[in-house]
Amino acid sequence: QVWGSSGRSHSVDLTALGKHGEVYTEGPFACLAWSRSETRLLYVAEKSRPKPRPPCPWDVPGAARPAEEDEDEEGEQFVYREDWGEALSTRSVPVLCALDLEGSSLSVLEGVPEHLSPGQALWSPDDRGVVFVGWWHEPFRLGLSACSNRRSGIFHLDLASGRCELLSAEHGAACSPRLSPDGRRLLYLEGDLGGPHRQCLRLCMLTWQTRQSVTVLDVVQEPTEAFAGLYAETLPLRCWAADSRRAVLGTPQRSRTDLLLVDTEAATVTNLTAGLPEGCWELLTLQWDLLVATRSAPHRPPSLVVAVLPPAGQELPLCWVPVEDTPTVPGVTWKTLTVRPPCSGQSPATHGAQAFEALLLSPTDGTAPHPLVVCPHGGPHAVFDARWRPSMAALCQLGFAMLLVNYRGSLGFGQASINSLLSRVGEQDVADTQLAVEQALRSEPLDPQRLALLAGSHGAFIALHLLAREPERYQACALRSPVSNLAALLGTSDIPDWRYASLGLPYSFERVPRAEEVAAMLLRSPIAQAARVRTPVLLCVGARDRRVSPTQALELYRVLRARGVPTRLLWYPEGGHALAGVETEADVFGNCTRWLLRHL
């Protein structure tokens, strides 16, 4: 639907026109972009496929068929069709589509090279071409969700000539093109191929007229007080200031998510929200120098705020005006703990002793010491920023203190910290989590006799290691989509490359695992130590999980049950890796909470 000042002007059923399949409304490929003239709309949809021929009751091999039937379609019904993995199982072959509102016509754009899957498209400054992100998908697709290391580039497709031109680096991972208001500059994010599945990114800028690119902000190895690097998956759709020189974006900065103002000419960064009490700021839009954002904290749900961006050089202090405010939730306080690992005697190049952080949410009910629930995050290259998380606040209101651990390898602490985890999963991340627990027990009013673990994915991998290391330490454990057997994920995960990279091994598409590599993966897996586990374990898995097969939990469930460990398995038939959706999330939260209350 298209609406204007006088009401609805157009209503089009795009799929019913028969030019393409399902429209992409979310995810890494999706877009909806106006032309400068506001007469055409650009979007991405699934390429249409020929409908399978209904079976004929007299389908005799070799018998004559109607002439209009395509011989090539015979036997095609059950051919395997690749998709883009976890959370993108209905995304296979995206196509760029243009809807002409004046001419009442819809076209699927031609000229995108066959080896690319296009997305994140926008019109070029003159409306005569399209800028898009193209992901290489040969020889096969790897999972794209939460992976900023996939080969991709920024392309320009000239609609008149059909010529497609690569604007970014040949061998890089580029995304999120954003054109300046004056049409002269194009901002985009760029990362390296392979290695960590998420990483610190570069902010690049292309001058449209000359096609020359420069790096505005480079990868940050070691964070400074002023700037810790860029880790956002995308730039805001509208991030440019009216002067076409400055841009605003949100990104993790240690255990916060802050709004940063970037001067693209001076290559400087100003943190617009550092030191403010809310720990998470997200930019919704920036139009006519009006910033619209949300802010939240572990004890405060998101509220809507606006601010006017002052002239260059006068940005601070910024005056934020609440539009829709939300009160803080009673019964919850929070703080950030800084944890310093002991020096390991390694060379400084290994960054072995870099500090990390943990967020501690505590009840204010005066019944200390409180039981402690330890939560290492998944990923592993992710971060617990200081945002509102309803489940954490609810557990806190029920009397639990919550420790959210950003072990080394988390986003927001520099690329050196991310790299430090490669080849050390199951060791450094486990030791860091335990170190954070010990520091919290020493410094806060917590009950060391009532400890539990609550985690998902790689966080569950860490939790299982902790259960095996100290069988008597934790009284309860509730896990979602757990990783328990690294070797078994090689043939079942949508990101087999990460199985190698996590152990510091090189990956190539044609790679076949060697016996010693499989052995190393198994030795680093919690399943190899499962005989040591004594703690009651709750497992929650989605049957449609493409990232971590639910058979990981099933194997663990059987081993623990056989050894007499109290174990319960919840199997969600329609659930994916994130176990998302209102009904599923509510059931997972309810079961995990009851498990913790019962065993603590």
Catalytic residues: 457, 545, 577
91 and 84 Cβ atoms separated by less than 8 Å: yes
What are the residues facing 306 on neighbouring strands?
Answer: 292, 321
Whose CA is closest to 556, among 501, 488, 490? 488
DSSP 431: H
3-state secondary structure 326-377: CCCCCCEEEEEEEECCCCCCCCHHHCCCCCEEEEEEEECCCCCCEEEEEEEC
CB atoms < 10 A from the CB of 509, how many? 10
DSSP 201-262: BEEEEEETTTTEEEEEEPPPSS--SS---B--SS--SS-B-TTSSEEEEEEEETTEEEEEEE
Whose CA is closest to 528, among 489, 473, 565, 485? 485
What are the residues facing 263 on neighbouring strands?
Answer: 246, 268
* Range 122-161 burial, b when 16+ CB lie within 10 A, else e: bbbbeeebbbbbbbbbeeebbbbbbbbbbbbbbbbbebee
**DSSP 3-state of 404:** strand
Cα–Cα distance measured from residue 13 to residue 35, given in angstroms and rounded to the nearest whole number: 20
Question: Two tokens at 483?
Answer: 């990783």
**DSSP 3-state of 273:** coil
CB atoms < 10 A from the CB of 520, how many? 18
Cα–Cα distance measured from residue 505 to residue 185, given in angstroms and rounded to the nearest whole number: 39
Cα–Cα distance measured from residue 402 to residue 423, given in angstroms and rounded to the nearest whole number: 29
How would you classify the pairing of strands 40-46 and 94-100? antiparallel
CB atoms < 10 A from the CB of 40, how many? 19
Whose CA is closest to 125, among 48, 177, 47, 180? 180
